[in-house]
Amino acid sequence: QVQLEESGGDLVQAGGSLRLSCAASGGTFSTYQMAWFRQPPGKEREFIAALSRTGGLTSYADSVKGRFTISRDNAKNLAYLEMIDLKHSDAAVYYCAAGRGSLSRSRYAYDEWGQGTRVTVSS
């Protein structure tokens, strides 16, 4: 079982950029597909991006395509989410997730979750 911990959430101005990190431990990181989800205030958790085990396949939500980039460094047991041109609608708690199945946009496909890191976009 892999354990995940997100970091990097911060307050940022609209139009700014931010990088989130996800550190994995207690499992074989390279055997998991990785994903990022977010939960805006008052809304359900939604898919943002997913990445295959070796980084060769990605999937992005339309709302972030072209602005967010998911990546991973299996040697360091780290996953990242680079965010640019942040919008007010991007404000949310962001969660890192790991799953053993095929690449999926569903939250229920992922077995392990971090505790989340909050991204706040100033008005």
pLDDT tens readout for residues 7-39: 999 999 999 999 999 999 988 999 999 999 999
What mean pLDDT do residues 71-94 have? 97
What mean pLDDT do residues 38-53 have? 96
What mean pLDDT do residues 30-54 have? 95
Q: Is the pLDDT of residue 3 over 90?
A: yes
- Write a three-state SS string for the chain: CCEEEEECCCEEECCCCEEEEEEEECCCHHHCEEEEEEECCCCCCEEEEEECCCCCCEEECCCCCCCEEEEEECCCCEEEEEECCCCHHHCEEEEEEEECCCCCCCHHHCCEECCCEEEEEEC
